[in-house]
């Protein structure tokens, strides 16, 4: 009778390869990560959590507004002038962009994503639609957004 020798290391290697494949398939793509950040930003804006949304802005945008100014401006314009407590929004699919140049550092180019956002406000002036192009770039290994 011939006995086959079992090779436990082969089973271990196979399990390891399946685990790596599983992790790879479950990890979101960069495009999905970028879209998730934009979605989170607009959820914060919907809920008037402007301090949290400001944290998701790229440093080049944060340089334009202090956090307190941003919070006051957003609340003043959208809630005060529009007379709208919240809004609905939709996001288009991310489009990859290459060699994007920041205005304050034109010599540096980076890759990222462009996402069109449509916001709908039911305001005291009727239904207002705002379409905005958002750029999402990695800054210190974290996706941050800025307006085009």
By the 8 A CB rule, do 84 and 122 touch? Answer: yes
Residue keyed to tokens 């436990």:
8
| Amino acid 105: pLDDT | 65
| Amino acid 124: pLDDT | 86
Residue keyed to tokens 């990560």:
33
Q: How do beta strands 105-123 and 88-91 pair?
A: antiparallel
What CATH number should be reported for the domain holding residue 117?
Answer: 3.10.450.100
2 belongs to a structural domain? no
| Amino acid 55: pLDDT | 96
53 belongs to a structural domain? yes
110 belongs to a structural domain? yes
Q: Is 57 helix (H, G, I), strand (E, B) or coil?
A: strand
20 belongs to a structural domain? no
What is the domain range of residue 134?
A: 29-147
CA distances from 79 to 25, 28, 39, 53, 123 (A): 42, 35, 20, 16, 9
Based on the structure, what is the number of domains in the chain?
Answer: 1
Q: Residue 1 pLDDT more than 70?
A: no
14 belongs to a structural domain? no
42 belongs to a structural domain? yes
| Amino acid 102: pLDDT | 78
Where are the extended beta strands (E) located within the chain? Answer: 88-91, 95-102, 105-123, 126-139, 142-147
């Amino acid at each position: 009778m011939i006995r086959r020798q079992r090779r436990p290391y082969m089973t271990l290697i196979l399990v390891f390869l399946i685990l790596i494949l599983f992790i790879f398939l479950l990890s979101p793509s960069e495009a999905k990560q970028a879209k998730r950040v934009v979605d989170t930003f607009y959820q914060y804006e919907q809920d008037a959590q402007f301090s949290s949304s400001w944290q998701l802005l790229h440093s080049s945008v944060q340089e334009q507004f202090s956090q307190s100014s941003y919070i006051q401006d957003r609340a003043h314009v959208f809630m005060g002038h529009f007379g709208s407590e919240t809004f609905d929004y939709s996001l288009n699919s991310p489009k990859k962009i290459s060699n994007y140049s920041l205005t304050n550092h034109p010599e540096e180019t980076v890759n990222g994503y462009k996402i069109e956002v449509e916001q709908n406000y039911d305001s005291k002036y009727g239904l207002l639609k705002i379409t905005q192009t958002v750029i999402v770039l990695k800054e210190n290994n974290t996706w941050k957004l800025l307006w085009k």
